[in-house]
Structures are given as C-alpha cells and as structure tokens.
Structure 1
Amino acid sequence: MLRRFFDPEVDRHLLTDEGEFIIDEVAKHWITLVLPVLALAASMAFFVAMIALPRVWALLLVIGLVLDVWAAVRIHQMHMDRFVVTNMRVFRVHGAVNQHLATMPMTRILDVSVEQPLLGQLCGYGHFIFESAAQDQGLRVIKFVGDPERRDLTIQRVIQMAGLRTNLAHPR
C-alpha cells in the first residue's frame, strides 16, 4: 500500500489483456526540480543563520522547515507525475496523495502541438498540446516533457502504425 505513495505504478493502468504495452514513459524534465532544490539550499542558509542570530533562531528554524517541507512535497509531486505513450493511447498519471489519471485513445488525437520556449530549447524540454474532437478533455496540456521532438515523433509513429492516418507517400 505504501508503495503506491512512492511509485506512480503506471503498469497497473494498462489493458494488458487487450495487448496494450508501454512505448514511452516520461517523467517530468529536471528543470522542474530547480526551484525545490533552491528552496532546500535557502533552508540550509536559514539553519546556518540560526547560529549567527540566536535571538531569532526560532523564526529562522520555522522558515527553514517550511522551505524543506515545500521542497519535499514539490519533488515528490514531480516524481509521481508521468506521461505515458502506449500502442493504444496516451495517458498521464499524477498526484502525490490523490492520484489522477487522464487518458486519450490514439483514435481521438486530431493534432499534437509542441511548444518550446527559449529556455526549453536550451535545456531540452517542451510542452505538448493535444487537440481532440472533444471540447473538454482531461488530457490537453502536458508540461515539461524532455526531448519533445523525439517524443512527438514517437506519438506520430504510433498513430501511423495504428493505421489512424493515411500514409501520404503511399495513398490507399
């Protein structure tokens, strides 16, 4: 039971009896950990400052502990957030305490856009935007996906292999 709290266990969401298998499982890009790591470093500075400023040690302790808790929660949230491409669908599992699953069958994907801000181009991440026939869907934007070009090609290849789009080079 505790294992589910520390591992997103995407395999349990697969339709294995239908022949579904994972093609790509994507954790959040490392850039999402920068702020939590900076918060941990800042908390250390507050703990060291307790020695130099003994009059306000309690306040510095509380600030340091709050930063540590915030950073630990954010790191755990990033670890539990997974984007998965299978041979049948794409889905996202996220949530540290309450888990949320959003899924979209390959047949519903009309368009995949990849947005890469300047920092994303430099560090190798991007944001996926899925368009489908449905107005409201639970899986529209996936942020901070590492190596987005390769992952976009993977999704396009799966859609093509499933026969959901016609091959332009060899029309039927």
Structure 2
Amino acid sequence: MLSGPDIRRHLLREEGEVVVDEVRHHGIVYVLPTLEAAVGVALVLWCAVVRADLAWLPFSVGMVVLVHAWWRAMREHMDRFVVTNMRVFRVHGVLSQQLATMPLSRILDITVRKPLHGRLLGFGHFCFESAAQEQGLRDIRYVGRVDQRDLAIQRVVQRSGLRGPRNPDGRPRVPEEEWMT
C-alpha cells in the first residue's frame, strides 16, 4: 500500500494494453501535509514543557494532527492518473479504491490550465471533456510537466487513428506528399 496503487492489475494485457505514462501528483501537494505534520510534532514536543497534569492535551491534539497529516499525504500518494495506448484512467483512494476510465475515443477536448504559481513551480491541471456528462476524470490536478504529458496524450490519440483526416470510408487520409512519391 505504501508503494502506491497497483496499476498493472488494471491493464487489459490480453488486449495489448500498455502504459504510456503514469502520472503522480507534483511534489507541491505535500507542502500542506508536511506543515501540518510539523505542527503536530511541535505539539507533541510541547507536552514536555507543559505541566504534567495538562500534558495529555497537547500530546493528544498533536497526535490527531499527525494522523491527519499522514492521511492527507497518503491520499495524494495513492492518486494516480494513467495513460495507456487504449484509454486513460485514474486510480485513487487509501482504504477503499476508486477507478475511473475513459477510452481514448471518448476524449473530445483536453484543456491544460497553468496558474502562475504552477508555471513557476512546474505543474498544471488537466480538464477533460468527453461525451459523458459526469466522469471521474474531468479534473486531474497538480500534474508535473503538464505540457509534455499533454503532448504524450495527443500522440497516443493520434497514433490510435481516432483523430486526423479521414476518407469517406473511415480510413485515415494519406497526406498528399506521401501518395505523390
């Protein structure tokens, strides 16, 4: 569990599905849990200088804060976005696990948002538009190297033959310079 979700068990191996990219959250998501853990440690250490009959209070609060910080960090650690040659999916959850899947053919549009602090620190957010109204893959936040990952998804979609010029019979159209030579 501490190593992260087992992505390989969700692959359709017999259908030839392979992982193109496994996306973990950018390290910025661990800043708040780390600060929270520091407060928890300070509270636990503070009980050493507090009167003995009151030491239980900062100790108890500190332990609750530490457990909450651990939970927040694990929630981020167990959240993965995966791009394969057939689909995109997201696996998340610490004790229970959720899986949301979208075939490449259902992706209508991908919006990449990069707030100012994201541009400075190297992360952004994906917003997927699909034919379905509700899905668990609409927003994928705090993606490191978001531009390269967007291009990787676009390449996978293009290589799958789902986008690009088509002939009336549905076959991909060959660029003019290829058939003229």
TM-score (norm 1): 0.92
What is residue 140 of structure 1 aligned with on the other side? 138
Unaligned runs of 5+ in 1: none
Report the Cα offset of residue 58 of structure 1: 1.1
Deviating above 3 A after TM superposition, structure 1's stretches of 4 or more consecutive aligned residues are 167-172
Shift in Å, 1:169: 9.9
1:101 to 99, 102, 119: 99
The correspondence for 2:110, drawn from 109, 112, 133, is 112
- Is the counterpart of residue 37 in structure 1 residue 34 in structure 2? yes
Q: Separation in 1 of the partners of 2:123 and 2:162?
A: 27
Indicate the residue corresponding to 1:8 in structure 2: 5
1:47 to 2:41 alignment: no
User: Which protein is richer in helix relative to its size?
Assistant: 1
**C-alpha displacement of 1:26:** 0.8
More displaced stretch, 39-48 vs 24-33: 39-48
TM-score if structure 2 supplies the norm length? 0.87
Q: In the alignment, which residue of structure 1 is the partner of 2:168?
A: none
Q: CA deviation at 1:125?
A: 1.0
The correspondence for 2:73, drawn from 72, 75, 82, is 75
Kept after mapping to 1: 8 A contact 2:106/2:130: yes
Task: Give the aligned residue type for 1:17.
Answer: E
Matching residue of 2:124: 126
Q: Percent identity?
A: 50
Q: Any gaps of 5 or more consecutive residues in structure 2?
A: 166-172
Match of 1:170 among 155, 170, 175: 175
SS of match in other structure, 1:51: coil
- Over aligned residues, Cα RMSD in angstroms? 1.9
Is the contact between residue 90 and residue 136 of structure 2 (CA under 8 Å) also seen in structure 1?
Answer: no
Greater Cα shift, 84-93 or 45-54 = 45-54
Task: Give the distance between the partners of 1:160 and 1:62, measured in 2 at CA.
Answer: 55
Q: Whose Rg is larger? A: 2
Partner of 1:165, secondary structure, is coil
Could you say what secondary structure the match of 1:52 adopts? coil
Corresponding residue for residue 86 of structure 1: 84
**Aligned residue identity for 1:170:** P
The partner residue of 1:22 within 11, 19, 22 is 19
